[in-house]
Amino acid sequence: MLGASQPAPATARMARSGRSEWQTSCAILTSKVVSQEQSESLPVPPVSGGFDHVPAVNGHHSAAQMNLVPIEKSDGNPLVPQHRHHQQKPLSVTDLSPAPMHGSNLRVAYQGVPGAYSEAAAGKAYPNCQAVPCDQFEVAFQAVELWIADRAVLPVENSLGGSIHRNYDLLLRHRLHIVGEVQLPVHHCLLALPGVRKEFLTRVISHPQGLAQCEHTLTKLGLNVAREAVDDTAGAAEFIAANNLRDTAAIASARAAEIYGLEILEDGIQDDASNVTRFVMLAREPIIPRTDRPFKTSIVFAHEKGTSVLYKVLSAFAFRDISLTKIESRPNHNRPIRVVDDANVGTAKHFEYMFYVDFEASMAETRAQNALAEVQEFTSFLRVLGSYPMDMTPWSPSSSTSCTSSS
């Protein structure tokens, strides 16, 4: 008879099988990262979207299905394949280890290249962190899900440009939790190669929101030039420097000018000085809500059929004196159109929406719990995206970040 402390043979085989699946998945991730390094002389690019095409591993296709959780050895250390490279890169399988709770070892994913405003937001959210650049928003989500990064810091709205709809959709698609927020003042500069004069410019490039936020100022400067959109502000500066474009300027941060060797032709060119972007901090696990400081809670729901349903949902918060700070509607991709047939008036087509709401209350408060219990009566779907501390720091422009970029 087996002793109580000894695993059964079947259980042992299952443990070995699970460990084998995890190691195989890690090896595939390693090959995806290594394949991006074409030569030792080239700089390491930001994290690419290669994780969208991870091949099937033992029947698993998605990151959530692979469930890449580090397995601990008997000595308590995480079992991680020892795969080393002499060249520094943003993502490595050797980084697949439990996330540190505190200190400066946090790996924080952001969208863009070094010098981006998202990098500055990551530095404000997690001082002295290791910033992990990603070329797409979704890659930043996947980096956290696959244990390659510990946190992600991504923009969700701007005071001038409005909501970043892509990230609202990704919040619903992925299972990460909002654990905090950062509000970052945006200070745009007009950058060009050394010696270039404004009157010789024929083109200005930047992120679409960067162009929109400086539209009137560019006109006042007499820059009636072509304006082209690129993936991010710092990427525009990098593109000019890499291609030695002497007829093109970029709208980006002063830090981007420092990194890529550009000159600042005009400083503070945003149309409104109160230009602030709100970022959310994402993690694999939620934080425990508290009541000793101001908290904000974010939810998403789809309402049931009926009359005045949205009004009834919002009344649940108004009745308990809970302030709403944000409400955003996005198409319900699972059911974009609802068709209603009426013999008297004919057929009507209604667009179906998901509603995102932020409200000023902690889920540790009874009033917030009661409000969501009432909301659930009128919704077909309800999910709490996170309950987290509000950013109460004063707005003050900052030209530097305290993150160390891994690229």
Total Cβ atoms within 10 A of residue 286: 16
Distance CA 331, CA 355 (A): 9
pLDDT band for position 224 (50/70/90)? Answer: confident
Q: Is residue 151 in some structural domain?
A: yes
- Same domain, yes or no: 385 and 398: no
Distance CA 152, CA 158 (A): 18
Q: Is residue 51 in some structural domain?
A: yes
Q: What is the pLDDT of residue 342?
A: 56
Q: Is residue 29 in some structural domain?
A: no
Residues in the chain: 407
Quick one: DSSP state of residue 76?
A: S
Give the domain extent around 298.
Answer: 9-21+294-389
Structure tokens at 209: 């929101």
- Same domain, yes or no: 166 and 77: yes
Which of the residues are catalytic?
A: 277, 279
- pLDDT > 50? residue 354: yes
Structure tokens at 184: 């970052």
pTM value is: 0.70
- Structural domain count of the chain: 3
- Same domain, yes or no: 161 and 57: yes
- pLDDT > 50? residue 57: no
Quick one: DSSP state of residue 56?
A: P
pLDDT above 70 as % of the chain: 67
- Same domain, yes or no: 144 and 193: no
Phi and psi for 346 in degrees, rounded to 5? 105, -155
Instruction: Report the Cα–Cα distance between both ends of the chain, in Å, rounded.
Output: 56
Q: What is the pLDDT of residue 12?
A: 46
- Same domain, yes or no: 161 and 301: no
Q: What is the pLDDT of residue 384?
A: 96
- Same domain, yes or no: 170 and 61: yes
Q: What is the mean pLDDT of residues 1-7?
A: 43
Q: What is the mean pLDDT of residues 313-340?
A: 83
- Same domain, yes or no: 375 and 240: no
Q: What is the pLDDT of residue 217?
A: 92
